Structure 1
Amino acid sequence: MEAEIRNQIPSIDPTVSEYASGYLNHASTRYTTDADTDAPSPLDDAARTITALLVSASGDFTDQSSTSIRNLVDRFITRLNAANGVDGERRQMAPKTRKLEQVIQVGSQRNVSSTLGLTAGNVDLEAVSSRKVESRVDRKKLEKAERKIAAKQDRKVMRNVQYEASRLLDQPNETESYEEFFMKVNPLQLGADQAKSKDIKVEGVDVSISGKRILSDTPLTLAFGRRYGLVGQNGIGKSTLLRALSRREVAIPTHISILHVEQEITGDETLALQAVLDADVWRKHLLNEQEKITKQLSELEAERSLLADTSGDAEKLDRHREGLDTTLSDIHAKLSEMESDKAESRAASILAGLGFSEERQHFATKTFSGGWRMRLALARALFCEPDLLLLDEPSNMLDVPSITFLSVYLQSYPSTVLVVSHDRAFLNEVATDIIHQHSERLDYYKGGNFDSFYATKEERRKTAKREYENQMAQRAHLQSFIDKFRYNAAKSSEAQSRIKKLEKMPVLEAPEAEYSVHFRFPDVEKLSPPIIQMSNVAFAYPGANSPLLKDIDLDVQLDSRIGIVGPNGAGKTTVLKLLIGALQPTSGLISSHARLRKGYFAQHHVDALDMNASPVTFMSKNYPGKSDEEYRRHLGAFGITGTTALQKMDLLSGGQKSRVAFACLGLTNPHILVLDEPSNHLDIEAMDALSKALREFQGGVLMVSHDVTMLQSVCTSLWVCESGHVEKFNGDVAAYKRRIQAQADQTSGVVQRQV
């Protein structure tokens, strides 16, 4: 019976299955034939109790599962009755003298069974008659089993949670302000809290979203002061995990402060520098309290001067003043510990490193675009220096100079960093450890950057595949011998020996299928040069005092592989829009081949997609002329395979949406690909696939990108857009980064954190 229970419910605790089996066996023997037949049968009560216990232990509360378990218990009852000579009629009879002392209770707080010994009244586990029957189940073991079931149900509730986007650096909801949410999630750390360990170790983490399991019973381990790069393929749930951590859906100790940079801040009249200072809510709160208490003390001093020293009111005022003095002293100590006096200079340094000039630091936040407000959100988090800093693709919103600053800044960051990034160069510079998220678990690669992780991961995968294939071959060889000689008298002993050997072999799981992505742009016919040229081009937006760009001379051919870099706001995207004809130059000439087809990948390509349509439906509507099967094959060439091509695009990850946009671009059969930040949101495998496809593409490529690895892999010439000019750079991206760092050293010195 116990074995059948475990077969039905593989995850059940052995103590619970042992108890259920023993209790049914015991209850089935307690019948007489001369009882009042209208009384309830103890066996029926036992069946109901054990059914409820097993359903709770299974963790599956669907009707199908409950019915299956109920049928299993009924089969046990029928079998036990037959074994004890009890027919169907006698089964309805109650015992003559053996009665339950009280009703068996089965509680269900959060669907967790609270069985016999845990109910009000503290009934003994087998007190089913007027005399005590010695329990065959250890009480402590059963209570331990109950705790396990409760923990399991808590995890089940967690799996069904659909996380909302974290708004830790924005308004969390309509009724709760940023300050209220900050103080709730990150309580003020007192002396005792600061002495506690800041390491994070949480066992059995479960996360899911929209019914899809992200993590299943996996440990989360983050050592304080380490910088972790979280990597994994598109759609695996990395951003969902960060949101769960930021909302403390995962049980991180409350004395560990957390900040998650995910959303841009709300634009209002607050100055950029002040917005960063206000991000440290506890500092702002303490400064307000300091001002409030100082004012109260001044008022008390004035009131006290009017009273005689012997007055009772004077003594009351003196006691009140002493209390305020003590509180003010504590506030001063805490502000000194925070080094509040250095806060403004530190905030200004962070903003400068992220591209905010001294003038722009005093602009209202509402005057900045979404990308710049995202930088403000990042600056606020860096300024707060939480114990756990969560960054989700920070390089997507930064240019090469700002990425350089951020990587240098994080290398000396004193607390724990968990960053989702697909920028290999950034991870190589920043990460001390890599966490690989896959197959609903987290694998840890300690003490190495991305390159060492990738090599180790590949070696592990090859080793696991080799071991699995060797064991499968060995199992097949043993099984072949067993099948051939199992019933051969002369060889039966050898066959039995091989059966035992086969049973003792450890069962290895099949290695995961190797994840690979392939991009392919269609072939194009050759065109005779010139293809497209910009000659002495200048451009100014209407109402601007001076041109944004001037004196641009750029020639793009079918074999061109041009990368454009430069600070945000310098006009890189404007250059691309001039090239494709979306903008017209103020002066100068742009000429192109009469039959030239240009394909443009916008930085905000998602805006052009219909989130309520599937990729196939979107393509058939916007690029008609092919069958659904042809669209699916074309999407497959960009890594959108299987049912993903038929899902609403709102359900796809950012990287999957990018792949759809690339697939749509391929349908235009372009001669020239003009790409604005093409690597954003793509996972590393997809970026490698895109780089390879661009190298093999028969047409020309002109891209704006901040990704060092892609620029180095694809581009043969580098152009720098800054100060209104676009000029060819004599060197590679690494040389350009060195120039940026040297310029920073000359103008303001190496940016250091002020602690």
Structure 2
Amino acid sequence: MAAQLMQKTLPNLDFPVLSYINSLFTSSDADPADDPVGSFIRPLLESESTVPPADVDRVCAEMDALWLKLTGAEQARAERGPAKLEQALDMRRQELKSKRQVVTQVVDVASVVKARETQVNLKALEKAEAKLKAKLEKRNARSLYEGSKLMQAQQSKKSYEELFLEVNPLQVIGRDKGKSKDIHLENIDLNFGSHRILSSATLTLPFGRRAGLIGRNGIGKSTLLRAMALREIAVPQHISILYVQQEVVGDDTPALESVLQADVHRSRLLAEERDLNEQISALEREGEERAAHAQTASEDEREKVHAELRKAERKKDDAMGRLGEVQRLLVEIDADSGPSRAAELLAGLGFSKQDQDMPTKSFSGGWRMRLSLARALFCKPDLLLLDEPSNNLDLNALAWLEDYLQTWPSTLFVVSHDRSFLNAVATDIVHQHGERLDYYKGNFAQFYATKSERAKQQRREYESQLQYRQHLQAFIDRWRYNANRAAQAQSKIKILEKLPELEPPEEDDVVTFKFPETDKISPPLLQLSDVDFGYSKDRLLLKNVNLDVGLDSRIGLIGANGAGKSTLLKLLIGELQPIRGQQARNGRLRIAYFAQHHIDSLDLTVNSVAYLQRLFPGLTEQQYRSHLAAFGITGMTSLQLIGTLSGGQKSRVSFAVLSMQRPHILLLDEPTNHLDLEGLDALMDALNRWNGGVIVVSHDSTFIHTVCKELWVCADTKAEKFYGDVDEYKKIIVSGNKTMRPSQV
């Protein structure tokens, strides 16, 4: 309440001041002896020339009453009575005395400063700072979950069906005929807490286009999608929206039925169709019984029965009319083909016929995310929102999804940092930066070329205008006070004043990763010889694996999820032991392992500097910050709680931890997840310059092609070298030739 009064009076008041005032008036241990209104708030208001004195008095009176009510100080003041000074103070004499001192004495700055210091109530100041610190810590704790608060706030109160119908009302079905499904919204302002995401931006998505949304980590791409999903951004009501937000909750529902239930419109209409058919059948039976009874009834009873028959007939006609409307809507949404479409989607995402009949609770988190994606695709919304869909897919499923989305009939808006995926799917690129959205026609490769050329042109124009300004200014400075050239100088001044304000072109963020050069050790470093592994002896996951890793190795592991790629990495680091075969490792070898779920290993309650200091003690804070800066964690970002960082920033912290281990070999399991384009470029460049060995599991075609010198495919309990590149492998997947052995290509 207090902060709202201050903000209403001074709308431009800084947030820390508002936070401090709010902490005073919401604290449970407020001291009745304090007087924040007189000591802080009134001087603050009076110092603002734009606030009328009447408003100052009114606001102070209201806040003083609020303070008295909060602390119970009103009764204490009444009991205490007016405060009395120990000695009488003659204000005029003090004023004359101070004036004489100013005239006759030299001011001692040190004594003045000392006097001012003694006038500060240090205990009160310390108490206020402690309250503010506690407030900020509490806010940081809340911000651990702020990234998903928009969706979680809704989901904590509403089921999937309720939220679906709220965003996409059932009544809008069939009412979009003749209406444009293009999205064009102007002057969009979007905030995330106190952080401004978009300012007077324009959102344009023509119907039927597939737009990729790109931008650096932490810029607010996911926030924009969530706001659209909840219609906090005013997307027209007749445009249906679906957002792939989280993994499916596991229960006893079969996977296929879970996909069918995702289309709430279809489920509701089918349920209503069943109810109407049952109602009509019941009315028909009731009518037959009443008609038979009327034949044997008396004259008076017969008239009454006929009236009831007419009433039942009207109910039946109403039900028949509604049934016809429901069946028409079911035809419009193609309800009959639902089971076959759902089965096709699940098969494309890697679910076998047996998997489709299994309950959702039997699947892992990654497979539940695939179910969530299948549910979204099945609903066929007018606007489909996808946030990093490739993060949860293997290369096989990703190849299928790219092929499937190329024929997507409605509007697609997808956040992705996978260049290959954007090149295959996107027809437009939306670049989010500087609180605005810029639009480019074509896929990512065309965007990159256009953006580079546009940046060069802007730089040339800026330098040309700057040179012209400097030429004018030099002429003015030289001849401004020369009588013969004064008129010309004045003319140049007018030209200079009319020139538009110059803004230098926006510089791209330059991110560099750096892994320390490793020392040489003699081979063999790391070997698997005739290794068999399975989590049970009767079901082997890998058979007869032979792999030799050296400092010059650049190996990419590809294949379907569950084929044993991550298991192979765990065998190499010694986390798992083979059932058969040998596992050899050099005694001096240092291995750094980047796990797929690396965020789970981070301490989200401390900042990045403190986290490194705990793991690798002995360095100064500046050394830790310099090391983090080498991975893009710069400035105050290194002092934020890790839990408040974006997914890409958390990945950068993990890479900084790996670097501190000074490894000989890096084992990377899905390292590209969450990294933005700048981070991906930096990681690829760092790995190519590094002199150690690399084994990587990834679905990012560009990353694999750039970093890896050889590919190994995990499939059918085998891990074998693939004699081709990643594009050839994807063609095999798309063409359905899944029976071809890697060694046969």
Q: Does the TM-score normalized on the shorter chain lie above 0.5?
A: yes
Question: Aligned match of 2:527 in 530, 533, 537?
Answer: 533
3-state DSSP class of the match of 1:266? coil
Counterparts of 1:127-146 in structure 2 under 5 Å?
none
Counterparts of 1:611-650 in structure 2 under 5 Å?
611-650=604-643
Say if 2:526 and 2:549, in contact at 8 Å, map to a contact too: yes
How far does residue 175 in structure 1 lie from its aligned partner after superposition? Answer: 3.4
Match of 1:301 in 2: 284
Structure 1: distance between partners of 2:526 and 2:478: 74
Question: Aligned match of 1:318 in 289, 294, 313?
Answer: 313
Amino acid of the structure 1 residue aligned with 2:674? H
Amino acid of the structure 1 residue aligned with 2:458? A
Structure 2: distance between partners of 1:623 and 1:184: 51
Say if 1:433 and 1:449, in contact at 8 Å, map to a contact too: yes
Question: Aligned match of 1:464 in 455, 458, 477?
Answer: 458
Amino acid of the structure 2 residue aligned with 1:496? Q
Question: Aligned match of 1:206 in 186, 189, 205?
Answer: 189
Match of 2:497 in 1: 503
Structure 1: distance between partners of 2:738 and 2:656: 43
3-state DSSP class of the match of 1:481? helix
Match of 1:194 in 2: 177
Question: Aligned match of 1:249 in 232, 237, 253?
Answer: 232
Question: Aligned match of 1:718 in 707, 711, 715?
Answer: 711
Relative to structure 1, the CA distance from residue 53 to residue 517 in structure 2 (aligned partners, 3 Å threshold; closer, same or farther) is: closer
Deviations 1:635-656 (A, max 9, x none): 1111111111111111111111
Structure 2: distance between partners of 1:412 and 1:69: 64
For structure 1, which segment, 287-296 or 58-67, has the greater mean C-alpha deviation from structure 2 after superposition? 58-67
Match of 2:476 in 1: 482
Match of 1:601 in 2: 594
3-state DSSP class of the match of 2:539? coil
Amino acid of the structure 1 residue aligned with 2:281? S
Deviations 1:609-664 (A, max 9, x none): 11111110000011212111111111111111111111111111111110000000
Say if 2:528 and 2:545, in contact at 8 Å, map to a contact too: yes
3-state DSSP class of the match of 2:234? coil
Structure 2: distance between partners of 1:73 and 1:292: 66
Structure 2: distance between partners of 1:719 and 1:417: 33
Question: Aligned match of 2:159 in 177, 190, 195?
Answer: 177
Structure 2: distance between partners of 1:605 and 1:700: 20
How far does residue 516 in structure 1 lie from its aligned partner after superposition? Answer: 1.3
Whether 2:49 is the aligned partner of 1:71: answer yes
Match of 1:548 in 2: 541
Structure 2: distance between partners of 1:344 and 1:286: 15
Amino acid of the structure 2 residue aligned with 1:362? D
Relative to structure 1, the CA distance from residue 165 to residue 726 in structure 2 (aligned partners, 3 Å threshold; closer, same or farther) is: same
Deviations 1:95-117 (A, max 9, x none): xxxxxxxxxxxxxxxxxxxxxxx
Structure 2: distance between partners of 1:166 and 1:426: 28
Relative to structure 1, the CA distance from residue 68 to residue 220 in structure 2 (aligned partners, 3 Å threshold; closer, same or farther) is: farther
3-state DSSP class of the match of 2:353? coil
Question: Aligned match of 2:274 in 268, 291, 309?
Answer: 291
Match of 1:276 in 2: 259
Structure 1: distance between partners of 2:216 and 2:240: 28
How far does residue 277 in structure 1 lie from its aligned partner after superposition? Answer: 0.2
Relative to structure 1, the CA distance from residue 66 to residue 268 in structure 2 (aligned partners, 3 Å threshold; closer, same or farther) is: farther
3-state DSSP class of the match of 1:71? coil
Structure 2: distance between partners of 1:477 and 1:68: 48
Whether 2:570 is the aligned partner of 1:588: answer no
Match of 2:215 in 1: 232
How far does residue 490 in structure 1 lie from its aligned partner after superposition? Answer: 2.2
Deviations 1:172-193 (A, max 9, x none): 4333211111111101233332
Structure 1: distance between partners of 2:383 and 2:458: 34
Structure 2: distance between partners of 1:659 and 1:286: 48
Match of 2:370 in 1: 375
Say if 1:522 and 1:666, in contact at 8 Å, map to a contact too: yes
Question: Aligned match of 2:728 in 699, 723, 735?
Answer: 735
Relative to structure 1, the CA distance from residue 164 to residue 716 in structure 2 (aligned partners, 3 Å threshold; closer, same or farther) is: closer
Match of 1:340 in 2: 335
Say if 2:598 and 2:654, in contact at 8 Å, map to a contact too: yes
Structure 2: distance between partners of 1:282 and 1:725: 45
Relative to structure 1, the CA distance from residue 404 to residue 286 in structure 2 (aligned partners, 3 Å threshold; closer, same or farther) is: same
Relative to structure 1, the CA distance from residue 582 to residue 477 in structure 2 (aligned partners, 3 Å threshold; closer, same or farther) is: same
Match of 1:515 in 2: 509
Say if 1:615 and 1:649, in contact at 8 Å, map to a contact too: yes
Higher helix residue share: 2
Relative to structure 1, the CA distance from residue 717 to residue 489 in structure 2 (aligned partners, 3 Å threshold; closer, same or farther) is: same
Counterparts of 1:409-448 in structure 2 under 5 Å?
409-446=404-441, 448=442
Whether 2:658 is the aligned partner of 1:665: answer yes
Amino acid of the structure 2 residue aligned with 1:413? W
Whether 2:552 is the aligned partner of 1:569: answer no
3-state DSSP class of the match of 2:175? helix
Say if 1:407 and 1:429, in contact at 8 Å, map to a contact too: yes
Question: Aligned match of 1:328 in 319, 323, 330?
Answer: 323
How far does residue 67 in structure 1 lie from its aligned partner after superposition? Answer: 5.2
Structure 2: distance between partners of 1:626 and 1:175: 48
Say if 2:175 and 2:238, in contact at 8 Å, map to a contact too: no
With the length of structure 1 as denominator, give the TM-score of the two structures.
0.77
Say if 1:55 and 1:69, in contact at 8 Å, map to a contact too: no
3-state DSSP class of the match of 2:336? helix
Structure 2: distance between partners of 1:69 and 1:304: 85
Amino acid of the structure 1 residue aligned with 2:245? E
How far does residue 305 in structure 1 lie from its aligned partner after superposition? Answer: 1.2
Relative to structure 1, the CA distance from residue 259 to residue 57 in structure 2 (aligned partners, 3 Å threshold; closer, same or farther) is: same
Structure 2: distance between partners of 1:68 and 1:460: 50
Amino acid of the structure 2 residue aligned with 1:736? Y
How far does residue 458 in structure 1 lie from its aligned partner after superposition? Answer: 1.3
3-state DSSP class of the match of 1:559? coil
Whether 2:693 is the aligned partner of 1:700: answer yes
Structure 2: distance between partners of 1:568 and 1:746: 17
Relative to structure 1, the CA distance from residue 171 to residue 326 in structure 2 (aligned partners, 3 Å threshold; closer, same or farther) is: farther
How far does residue 476 in structure 1 lie from its aligned partner after superposition? Answer: 2.2
Deviations 1:39-66 (A, max 9, x none): xxxxxxxxxxxxx999789999979999
How far does residue 739 in structure 1 lie from its aligned partner after superposition? Answer: 1.5
Match of 2:105 in 1: none
3-state DSSP class of the match of 1:307? helix
How far does residue 514 in structure 1 lie from its aligned partner after superposition? Answer: 2.5
Structure 1: distance between partners of 2:615 and 2:730: 41
Relative to structure 1, the CA distance from residue 668 to residue 344 in structure 2 (aligned partners, 3 Å threshold; closer, same or farther) is: same
Amino acid of the structure 1 residue aligned with 2:481? Y
3-state DSSP class of the match of 1:305? helix
Structure 2: distance between partners of 1:491 and 1:242: 60
Amino acid of the structure 2 residue aligned with 1:708? S
Say if 1:231 and 1:420, in contact at 8 Å, map to a contact too: yes
More relative contact order, 1 or 2 (CA 8 Å, 6+ apart): 2
Amino acid of the structure 1 residue aligned with 2:691? Q
Say if 2:732 and 2:738, in contact at 8 Å, map to a contact too: no
Structure 2: distance between partners of 1:297 and 1:521: 74
Deviations 1:517-573 (A, max 9, x none): 11110011111111111001111114x631111110001110000000000011100
3-state DSSP class of the match of 1:526? coil
Relative to structure 1, the CA distance from residue 714 to residue 216 in structure 2 (aligned partners, 3 Å threshold; closer, same or farther) is: same
Q: Where does the alignment leave 5 or more consecutive residues of structure 2 unmatched?
A: 1-6, 19-40, 54-142, 295-302, 741-745
With the length of structure 2 as denominator, give the TM-score of the two structures.
0.78
Structure 1: distance between partners of 2:44 and 2:504: 32
3-state DSSP class of the match of 1:306? helix
Q: Where does the alignment leave 5 or more consecutive residues of structure 1 unmatched?
A: 1-51, 76-159, 748-755
Alignment size in residue pairs: 609
Say if 2:9 and 2:51, in contact at 8 Å, map to a contact too: no
Deviations 1:321-371 (A, max 9, x none): 010011111111111121211100000000000011110011110111111
